[in-house]
C-alpha cells in the first residue's frame, strides 16, 4: 500500500457502499467491497472521489466526497465533505510517507 492510497471503511453493518455510485475525480478505485473502498492517486493528484452509501433497511442514503492531498515527503491531509443526505460520523487517520501507509477514513455511522 502506498501513502497515496486512501481506504474508506463503513463500520456499521446496516450501511454499505453503493457500488454503482463511486465517482473518482482524481485517482481510481483500486478495490471495492460492500463495506470498504481503497482509492489510489494518479499523476500528482491525491485521491478525490464522491461515494454513495445506502441503508437499505431504513431507505436512507448519503453522498460524501473524500479527498486526500498528494503524499510527497509527508502524508496527505484528508478532507471529508458531505454532499447530500446523511452526514457521516467518522475518524480520519493520515497515512505515513516514512512507512508507506495510506490514509484511512472509518465511518462509524451517519446522522442528520
- All structural domains of the chain, each given as residue ranges with its CATH number in brackets, are 6-111 (2.60.270.50)
By the 10 Å C-beta count (0-12 exposed, 13-18 middle, 19+ buried), 57 is classed as: exposed
Say if residue 1's pLDDT is above 80.
Answer: no
The structure's pTM equals 0.95
At 6, the pLDDT band (50, 70, 90 cuts) reads very high
- pLDDT 10s digits, 59-101: 999 999 999 999 887 788 999 999 999 999 999 999 888 888 9
Amino acid at each position: 500500500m502506498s501513502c497515496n492510497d486512501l481506504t474508506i471503511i463503513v463500520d456499521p453493518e446496516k450501511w454499505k457502499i453503493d457500488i454503482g455510485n463511486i465517482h473518482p475525480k482524481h485517482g481510481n478505485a483500486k478495490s471495492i467491497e460492500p463495506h470498504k473502498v481503497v482509492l489510489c492517486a494518479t499523476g500528482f493528484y491525491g485521491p478525490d472521489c464522491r461515494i454513495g452509501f445506502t441503508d437499505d433497511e431504513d431507505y436512507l442514503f448519503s453522498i460524501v466526497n473524500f479527498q486526500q492531498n498528494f503524499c510527497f515527503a509527508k502524508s496527505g491531509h484528508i478532507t471529508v465533505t458531505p454532499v447530500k443526505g446523511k452526514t457521516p460520523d467518522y475518524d480520519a487517520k493520515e497515512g505515513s510517507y516514512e512507512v508507506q501507509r495510506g490514509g484511512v477514513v472509518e465511518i462509524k455511522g451517519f446522522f442528520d
